[in-house]
Structure 1
């Protein structure tokens, strides 16, 4: 399997695991030192910080998303990827507020010692959609 295809499969697995609410699977797809950048928020560091935030959100909402991989570039054990992403955060309880965001992401992947690609850095430039 090519490195590009492997990275595309990581992205697809991330989307599927998030949709299923499988936080542990999502965490395995990222490096322990992953950093997430979101506009208007401080950087989120590591699996623990990301996992805590995702668990808290999934306690009251479900997440549906669609992603189009626009490009992938691989250079040795590092790669970057640009995607177009739409995320819908839907309340579990009746009457809750749904949220929809869309835009672009720029992600950096690193190959681990076992040869698997993992997300290492992510810049999420999603904006609210009416």
Structure 2
């Protein structure tokens, strides 16, 4: 595995850990200033909207798992295909289960760090959530 691929995998792990702990500063540092997110049912949005959403979710707990399907590095750009399962529990305790794939474009910035630049998130609500024992 190349150093770039390892750095990208570490970015994903850091993002996931920070999401679970509610560490919005770390998450925001993992994205470019011109990042664009695309999710079903919404217009594309950027870093400021992402930050506002995170701020409104201070009382929300997140847990889950991810499985990186593919990482390809192409010079200063890379893409990542990932499968994610999330459990999102708001303050009222009504856990929502979401799962699906993401396609993420990353850019290596002038400081040598990889950051998320574009993200297409296809997670959807699972009506019949089950775990496999």
TM-score, length of structure 2 as denominator length: 0.90
> Which has a greater percent of strand?
1
Cross-structure match for 1:97: 94
Measure the CA separation in 2 of the matches of 1:65 and 1:111: 27
Gapped regions of structure 2 (runs ≥ 5): 128-133
Residue 49 (structure 2) pairs with residue 53 (structure 1):
no
Deviation at 1:65?
2.6
2:6 aligned counterpart, secondary structure: helix
Task: Give the number of aligned pairs.
Answer: 126
1:15 aligned counterpart, secondary structure: helix
Measure the CA separation in 2 of the matches of 1:103 and 1:24: 25
Moved over 2 A (4+): none
Measure the CA separation in 1 of the matches of 2:64 and 2:18: 11
Measure the CA separation in 2 of the matches of 1:54 and 1:62: 11
2:86 aligned counterpart, secondary structure: strand
1:114 to 85, 105, 111: 111
TM-score, length of structure 1 as denominator length: 0.92
Deviation at 1:125?
0.4
RMSD (Å), alpha carbons: 1.1
